[in-house]
Amino acid sequence: MNRVVITGLGVVAPNGIGVPAFTNAIKNGVSGIRYDEQLQQLQFSCQIAGKPEITDELKSKYFTDLELRGFNSTGILYGVIAGIEAWENAGLPIEKNTEPDWDTGTIFGTGTSGIDKFRESIYKIDDLQTRKLGSTVVAQTMNSGISAYLGGKLGLGNQVTSNSSACATGTEAILMAYDRISSGKAKRILAGSTSDSGPYIWAGFDALRVCSSRYNGTPNQGSRPMSATASGFVPGSGAGALVIESLESALERNATIYAEILGGSVNSGGQRGTGSMTAPNSLAVQRCITDSLKNSGISATEIDAVNGHLTATTKDSLEIENWAKALNRFENEFPYINSLKGMTGHCLSAAGSIESVAAVLQLHEGFIFGNTNCEDLHPEISSLISPSKVPLKTKNYNLNIIAKASFGFGDVNACIILKKFDNELL
């Protein structure tokens, strides 16, 4: 089994495009949630959203004019920007070689692809204009569009695929990359996930009445994970990317090592017991966490901090209960915990990767970002764990091990164990 490390980071988040802006945002509690006029016009109950703002100038840095002709896929836009940032951040070159890089691949997930392009095409098709669709509808709307775009831009010759497991997609992608590298099938995988923006991706959640609708006038207070006054999640979008690499290859290249992946676990509650299409089977959640510890060869007491899924729905208290039971750590014994979603909203299929980038930054730079909009911690949570474990302000803290989990529709779970990497211990 090869040891596996993280050597590159890239992010397109509602509260920061690019790693420097995002790091600054999470340290300072900068919210990326804004009032969304389109959602208001379409009479959504939730009229606020976390949407990355991409300038035309930034677009043309990552796409050719030809690629931008008829381009209408926010998910591919965010994923390409985050993916290439991670690649360059890892110090890897973009070469115009004739042979692909056989040792490097990408596992870049998404829930849907190019939903706006799909909508545009459907109107044309029904208007009997199929022959005028142009050549890029398939590339923009196939689920693997994002991995295909990245694979071509970077010349990747190992596995190039897109996974999909709802809101666990990003975390699962990292674990799939970990598996492939630890088993020696690849040296390097660009792992991550992306999620489209806009009403056509978010409407289904609004219809389920699970979105935050009481804060339309005060957008940056709308996403309230773990708060007593949480009223649902704020829809978001974006992309996160990580270059995952064998330790051997990272050391050979003298790359910056941001963290080591000790292991992790993915499972499903099978929509049995308390589980359903939309609700978690708590036994499966706890098992996913304990399996991650076993797989990583660490004990529950070694976890310094948890980066939760914690979306700001009524299920937050249950998630805390599951962590506490799985780790068998309660009250003051519970590790620090935070949720990025207070600042970004719930970035759906991109959530796991964006939040993993945040978790890795905490390990690498030694801080715990504060929980936004959680001044009134939910009493069900404070009855399980000490409120001091839910920091409201960012604090400098030398973390060694973080557990990051994501959970998704379909009763699916993913948990990764990340460890600070110390060069001197080699």
Partner 1 sequence: MNKDELIAKLKVIIKPYTSNIEAYENLSENTDFISDLNINSANLVDIVLDIEETFDILIDTTDMQRMLDVKTAVAIIQSKLDAK
CB of 10 to partner 1, least distance (A): 26
CB of 75 to partner 1, least distance (A): 21
Integer Cα distance of 237 and 356 in angstroms: 15
Q: Are the C-beta atoms of 81 and 240 separated by less than 8 Å?
A: no
CB of 32 to partner 1, least distance (A): 34
Integer Cα distance of 269 and 275 in angstroms: 6
How many residues sit close enough to partner 1 to count as binding (CB under 8 A)?
A: 7
**Sole window of 61-69, 240-248, 309-317, 333-341 interacting with partner 1 (rule: CB under 8 A):** 61-69
**Closer to partner 1 at the Cβ: 69 or 209?**
69
Q: Are the C-beta atoms of 85 and 17 separated by less than 8 Å?
A: no
Judged by CB under 8 A, the residue of 37, 132, 398, 423 near partner 1 is 132
The gap from C-alpha 49 to its chain's centroid, in whole angstroms, comes to 16
CB of 383 to partner 1, least distance (A): 60
Residue 34's H or E segment, with its range, is strand 33-35
**Closer to partner 1 at the Cβ: 62 or 334?**
62
Integer Cα distance of 157 and 150 in angstroms: 11
Instruction: State yes or no: residue 134 binds partner 1 (CB under 8 A).
Output: yes
Instruction: State yes or no: residue 96 binds partner 1 (CB under 8 A).
Output: no
CB of 148 to partner 1, least distance (A): 13
Q: Are the C-beta atoms of 151 and 94 separated by less than 8 Å?
A: no
What sign does the dihedral 41-43-48-49 (CA atoms) show? negative
**Closer to partner 1 at the Cβ: 136 or 286?**
136
Instruction: State yes or no: residue 65 binds partner 1 (CB under 8 A).
Output: yes
Show Cβ contacts of residue 75 under 8 Å, excluding neighbours closer than 6 positions: 110, 112, 113, 114, 115, 145, 146, 194, 195, 196, 197, 237, 239
Judged by CB under 8 A, the residue of 1, 66, 277, 426 near partner 1 is 66
**Closer to partner 1 at the Cβ: 66 or 128?**
66
- Give residues in contact with partner 1 (CB under 8 A): 65-66, 69, 132, 134-136
